[in-house]
């Protein structure tokens, strides 16, 4: 009996110890779970991180979306027609307004312009044809391609007029005509005055840069040639012009201008005549010749209203420069200044 009593006491002690361990572990688990629950509760109460709504009104949609993305905000986009074609693609309104503090992940309402609703033909008389071309492409060309609502009938009709060259004199259909479907616009455009006369400026004795600037101001047609510098002459200047200064000529008569060469060619530089044949136009169009230097600097050599034909401009530029010719702000030709030697033709000597 004593032996059994000893075993029972041992068993009771063993069970009691394990029960205490189990209860302790259970209590610890409850405390741990409670701490996690409390942490989750406070995180949920605290919510998402706060951020400030940026100002995106007046900006392109893509730019606005990037700014919202940085702030961890999301757009809700609405489209609306506006009063100006220049607004197309821009943000007109936003809600909430800029400066508002919101939680990250908030939806921001953006009202984006679809441009203007145009259901009648505008009055184009008195406007420049080149500006109207751009407007027609912007307003009436479908974004995904396809048939334009209004297109320009080519070729245009021209007539001499006291109005500036390129000015629209007549249009068909007339202003105010309803636009019911795809159609064409017919324009009569001013070609300038018939037999317009100009006085030839003085070019002889000017440096090349001064001569190019004078041409840009006077708007004369011109043709350049280069010959070698002769004794007593200042290098890189205009040494001859035809017709002479103060001669009254027709506006479409080119002035022949001869410049001489540098005394010595600097290392790494090229002195040459740029040549390019520009298509003939009914009236002069804006033409620019620029040089992009190896340093990255971009300089204007000449800006002029030019009617077309052979376009010649003397230049002295570092090897590796790029010459860029543009018409109506659209690039039509570019070439690199290479180190090859260009011989002068006999008639230029």
Task: Examine the domain organization and report whether 273 and 239 are in the same domain.
Answer: yes
Enter the tokens of residue 186: 């017919």
The CATH number of residue 101's host domain is 3.30.10.20
Residue 1 pLDDT more than 50? Answer: no
Rounded Cα distance between 166 and 127, Å, is 8
Rounded Cα distance between 181 and 289, Å, is 41
Task: Examine the domain organization and report whether 204 and 93 are in the same domain.
Answer: no
Task: Examine the domain organization and report whether 209 and 264 are in the same domain.
Answer: yes
What is the average pLDDT value for the chain, to the nearest integer? Answer: 84
Rounded Cα distance between 285 and 305, Å, is 5
Q: Residue 14 domain-assigned?
A: no
Residue recorded with tokens 């159609």: 183
Residue 320 pLDDT more than 90? Answer: yes
Task: Examine the domain organization and report whether 341 and 241 are in the same domain.
Answer: yes
Q: Residue 119 domain-assigned?
A: no
Task: Examine the domain organization and report whether 276 and 156 are in the same domain.
Answer: no
Task: Examine the domain organization and report whether 186 and 204 are in the same domain.
Answer: no
Non-local CB neighbours of 232 within 8 Å, separated by 6+ positions: none
Cis peptide before 96 (omega within 30 of 0): yes
Task: Examine the domain organization and report whether 218 and 334 are in the same domain.
Answer: yes
Domain count, the chain: 3
Q: Residue 7 domain-assigned?
A: no
Enter the tokens of residue 211: 């001569």
Task: Examine the domain organization and report whether 209 and 344 are in the same domain.
Answer: yes
Do residues 333 and 347 touch, judged by C-beta distance below 8 A? no
Task: Examine the domain organization and report whether 304 and 171 are in the same domain.
Answer: no
Buried b (16+ CB within 10 A) or exposed e, 110-124: bbbbebeeeeebbeb
Q: Residue 292 domain-assigned?
A: yes
Q: Assign residue 318 a region (left: φ > 0; alpha: ψ between -120 and 50; beta: otherwise).
A: beta
pLDDT digits (tens, 9 = 90+) for 169-194: 999 999 988 877 788 899 999 988 87
Alpha-carbon Rg for the chain in angstroms:
39
Rounded Cα distance between 120 and 221, Å, is 40
Task: Examine the domain organization and report whether 243 and 141 are in the same domain.
Answer: no
Task: Examine the domain organization and report whether 95 and 179 are in the same domain.
Answer: no
Burial of residue 156, with CB atoms counted within 10 A of its CB: 0-12 exposed, 13-18 middle, 19 or more buried: middle
Q: Residue 26 domain-assigned?
A: no
- Residue 246's domain comprises 197-348
pLDDT digits (tens, 9 = 90+) for 58-116: 999 999 999 999 989 999 999 887 767 677 889 999 999 999 999 988 999 999 987 76
pLDDT digits (tens, 9 = 90+) for 16-43: 666 666 677 767 677 777 777 766 655 5
C-alpha distances in Å from residue 171, one per residue of 2, 9, 122, 126, 151: 128, 118, 10, 10, 13
**Mean pLDDT calculated for residue range 250-269:** 86
Q: Residue 139 domain-assigned?
A: yes
- Domain-ending residue, one of 153, 175, 190: 190
Do residues 122 and 89 touch, judged by C-beta distance below 8 A? no
Residue 2 pLDDT more than 70? Answer: no
Task: Examine the domain organization and report whether 145 and 274 are in the same domain.
Answer: no
Collapsing DSSP to helix, strand or coil, 41 comes out as helix
Query: How many C-beta atoms surround the C-beta of residue 19 within 10 A?
Result: 10
Non-local CB neighbours of 284 within 8 Å, separated by 6+ positions: 165, 219, 305, 306, 307
Do residues 240 and 222 touch, judged by C-beta distance below 8 A? no
Q: Residue 22 domain-assigned?
A: no
Q: Residue 62 domain-assigned?
A: yes
Do residues 325 and 332 touch, judged by C-beta distance below 8 A? yes
Q: Is the pTM of this model over 0.95?
A: no
């Amino acid at each position: 009996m004593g032996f059994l009593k000893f075993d029972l006491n041992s068993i009771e002690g063993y069970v009691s110890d394990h029960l205490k361990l189990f209860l302790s572990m259970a209590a610890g688990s409850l405390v741990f779970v409670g701490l996690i629950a409390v942490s989750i509760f406070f995180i949920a109460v605290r919510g998402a991180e706060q951020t400030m709504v940026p100002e995106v009104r007046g900006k392109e949609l893509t730019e606005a979306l990037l700014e919202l993305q940085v702030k961890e905000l999301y757009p809700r986009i609405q489209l609306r027609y506006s009063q100006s074609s220049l607004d197309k693609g821009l943000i007109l309104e936003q809600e909430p307004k800029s400066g508002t503090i919101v939680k990250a992940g908030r939806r921001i309402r953006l009202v984006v312009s679809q441009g203007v609703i145009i259901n009648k033909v505008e009055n184009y008389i008195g406007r420049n044809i080149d500006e109207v071309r751009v407007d027609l492409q912007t307003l009436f060309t479908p974004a995904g391609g396809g048939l334009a609502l209004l297109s320009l009938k080519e070729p245009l009709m021209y007539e001499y007029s006291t109005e500036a060259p390129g000015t629209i004199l007549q249009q068909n259909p007339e202003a105010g005509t309803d636009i019911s479907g795809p159609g064409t616009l017919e324009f009569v455009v001013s070609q300038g005055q018939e037999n317009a006369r100009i006085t030839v400026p003085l070019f002889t004795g000017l440096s090349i840069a001064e001569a190019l600037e004078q041409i840009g101001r006077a708007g004369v047609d011109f043709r350049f040639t280069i010959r070698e510098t002769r004794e007593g002459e200042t290098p890189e200047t205009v040494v001859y012009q035809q017709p002479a200064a103060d001669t009254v000529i027709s506006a479409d008569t080119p002035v022949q201008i001869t410049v001489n060469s540098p005394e010595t060619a600097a290392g790494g530089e090229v002195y040459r005549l740029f040549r390019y044949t520009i298509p003939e136009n009914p009236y002069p169009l804006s033409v620019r010749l620029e040089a992009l230097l190896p340093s990255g600097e971009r300089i204007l050599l000449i800006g002029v209203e030019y009617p077309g034909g052979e376009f010649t401009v003397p230049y002295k530029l570092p090897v590796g420069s790029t010459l860029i010719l543009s018409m109506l702000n659209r690039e039509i030709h570019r070439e690199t200044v290479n180190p090859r030697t260009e011989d002068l033709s006999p008639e230029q000597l």
